[in-house]
Chain A
Amino acid sequence: MSGAATLSHAGCAEAPVLRERGQREVFCGLTGIIWLHRKIQDAFFLIVGSRTCAHLMQSAAGVMIFAEPRFATAIIEERDLAGLADANEELDRVVGQVLARRPDIRMLFLVGSCPSEVIKLDLSRAARRLDRAHAPAVRVLAYSGSGIETTFTQGEDACLAALVPEMPASAKAPALLVAGVLAEVVEDQMRRLFDALGVGPVGFLPPRRARELPAVGPGTRVLLAQPFLAETARALEARGARHLPAPFPLGAEGTTGWLRAAAEEWGVPQARFREVTAMGEQRARAAIARHRDVLAGRSLFFLPDSQLEIPLARFLARELGMRPIEIGTPYLHRAHLAAELPLLPRDALLSEGQDVDRQLDRCRAARPDLTVCGLGLANPLEAEGLATKWSIELVFTPIQGYDQAGDLAELFARPLVRRAALTV
């Protein structure tokens, strides 16, 4: 594989990063609620924001909005802007309304938005007040999902970071904590692999039920399942946990590297490790190979969206032979990507932040074979003759682990297969 050749260089570990700022065509952190509320089954997310926030959630959630979702917006109105005391009373009333309607809720998140933060509505204080009022039935926490503070997946980071102080303190015995929302099917696969390796006990953050938080303490080793968890990792480290550096579990190579980080920490013998992972890795490689013909040699351009761009580019370059031209990410966390950056091809341009018009100029000039971008840009670029893969699907679809590696490759192959198939 071409991977070995690029590995001998330092990859992109020391490459300069193009930092831009200007218009950013990205979602805010509120959108994280859409997958977080599916995962934490007894939590409710109450955004304190404007009609724009409600409209964003409605547009991003699509038909999910009709399925009695466990999120809503307390829309700030003109009279709430008059005085802060009034706004707090109003918030208490709305929270009462929500909890009366949804007695199954055990945890309520007050989610800050741009408007609530600009008017300096103190949601942390409101959460403490409401927590006292509704204890012990409902725990009330607060975090920010605003556009001024968070970009897209950073909303998950902010939510998980708010959960960390709630985690019980652990005994001294070592335990593995996997941080980051994974689809349940993926979580179950990972749990089986850890069991087979003898790594454990294993806890997942977030848990499926809000009150079943895993414990944390000096014995805890943290494996990040997602690359966008800077705050969560910091909060876990503050509680004594230690981060295990690893590539992210995308593709055969990434998944093996991710599992290995835990296996090594637990002193699993190499032979045992191979025994447990060989089958999955082989299945993944076979599934990926089916898409190699379509993708190998094709150039690739990432616009920033989710922070998944760097691990995805690594997977597509090394396991499918694609050529990343520019890899844009909203935020580049060097420490968490330490195992990824050396694996990237050296000639790829790394960019952090965005000035969307300038970036599109670069994209058009490069004429990549495939552009990964958001839904606001995808159709316009298709109309210009560029094949695109819309990126949001990558946070809603199970893509991590061995058994999703083929599906992940297919997500990128499908737009190219489709373009080849259409004759009109």
Chain B
Amino acid sequence: MASLSNSGWRDVCDKFKNAQTLSCEESLKDPVNDPYRSKYKARELIREIHCTLKSLEACEGEEESGGDGREQRASEAFVDGQRDELFTDGLCGESPPGMLTAKLAAVEFYLGVNHAETEELSAGHEHLMNCVMLLERCRVSSENVSLSIHVRNELGIMWTRRDEAEKALQFLETAEFIYQRYMKEDGSPPMDKIEYFTTEEKLLTDQERTEKFEFIYTYTKYYLAQVYKIVGETERAATYCHNTLQRLLPLKQFNRMEWALNAATLSQYYISKGQFMEGRHCLSAASVILGLAEVPSEAAAQESEAASEQREKNRMQSAHISRCWIKYCLNLLEDAKKLLEDNTGELDTDRQDELKRERTLGEEEEVKSRKSALLFGSEDTFDSIASLEEKVPCLFPLDFSEARAVFLVGQNHVKEAKEYFQMEGHVTDHVEILQDHSALFRTLAFFEEDLEARCKMHKRRIDMLEPVCNELNAQYYLMIRRQLMFELAEIYNEMMDLKMIRANTQADTQSLDKHSIKKINHLCSSAVKYFHMFLDSLRSPDGKFPEKMEEDVLRPALVARFRMARLYSKLICSLPSAQLENLNKALDNYTCITQYCEEHPEAAAAVETELELSKEMVELLPFKINRLKVAMVANN
């Protein structure tokens, strides 16, 4: 600053420092009825700096006349897309006019942010655009690259505030381009925007510069993640979330607990998209990073409340991550099941063979290429993440032993999650974990060929769910209980079927023994009991069944009726009168379905198959009932 005296420059620096303090610290204490008082004061100071700089520019302007006319483009028509020119044309950043321009641009930037923060968006926009235009006079260089990215981040924020995500995207993508090209072509630690108005002795070190610069670019990634989400490019958004997390990893200061939780949450995005490799990677990274988080010792926790809170929080996050692992295992098993089942829900062995063959044929290569795309890890964590990954399968299990390996990982996490989410204090979470555990057993049972062993798995499910269902307060846990009642009914139903199949294969040689009959009937009536409970839970306070059922319970309620009808007709009884009674009940339930769908035609779509079968049964059952009646009369 040749034309500014030392004391003059010091004055500018002081003003800047004051403005910063006012804007960042003082403003937090501003009263509610005058919320922007400090921000307005800061604005005045920056304006004064602006005047000083302007007068300097006027002097220098005589030497070098005007820019190249780019700034004359109307700001409204501006397209932030002339990216290559940013690196090839314009003033040299180091030169005095280049520096002065950067400083003027910085002032415009601060004014822009200040206006945006005080809800004067359009004035803010104008200043930020002035900043962009000024910077366009210069080539991108270490003197202005940081500011160039920063101002585009702010414009990205501003345009999303105005609901114009496409425009925001343009600026943010340019910011990304500038960073990448700068790093490729120059890469030296660039000046930070706070350095434009500091005295020599307070300039940042190279390391500080690099750190700040990397952070600004991390913000770019982070904003891009959000804008891609807004414009509907979820896949890209996920990648950018991933990027943001990855960029934080090598830094010394980041909150490991938060990081781990974010990575675990991201895993849930991947598994819901069926990308188990990425899901597993996120979860492994989450587990490893959480393991590195600093946790106060037990002794420290007894001494201070803050330490004990911190310890407790760590336990909770760890349990959350375990729950994400459970979902990973569950979804992997369930998706495999969907691939492998035939139209009766049984294992399709042809399909199984085919998939096994496919797997040996080069699918692994595809897996490798995908794996190189997105990876977490810094030097010290890379190996531990990879070794954790190896312990958990990520390909669809195709037979029982593979399924069991996935199941066991899930079950281990069930155990860990339950240690924190205990029933006392965390009822909802605890029950959700139990439900997942039950679901793990359900999918494992699909892969089990031995019927007896399968039954035992279902029995385990009943043992874990039945006591909870009966103990939960019906008033406060209605929704959860409904789910449990339905699930229990389904399990009993399933077990009854399995016993029936076994009994039928034996029945070729011998007739059903008393014990089997008793067992089957018990399972049958337990299933009926829980379906009944479920339906009763839909009744209104005065005991009436709703005339029109809500969408979310419509299908379950009609399916419950359908199952009950079938169960009643399966009950084995020697007394014809009892049999007659059961058949009548079955008919009642079938009729219920057909009638409901007649009165509410829109319901038919939800239970298409069931409705069709019910209609048939409503026609057929009366004949059966009549025949039974005739036989009874004849026998009397």
Q: Do A and B come from one complex?
A: no
**Chain B residues within CB distance 8 Å of chain A:** none
**Chain A residues within CB distance 8 Å of chain B:** none
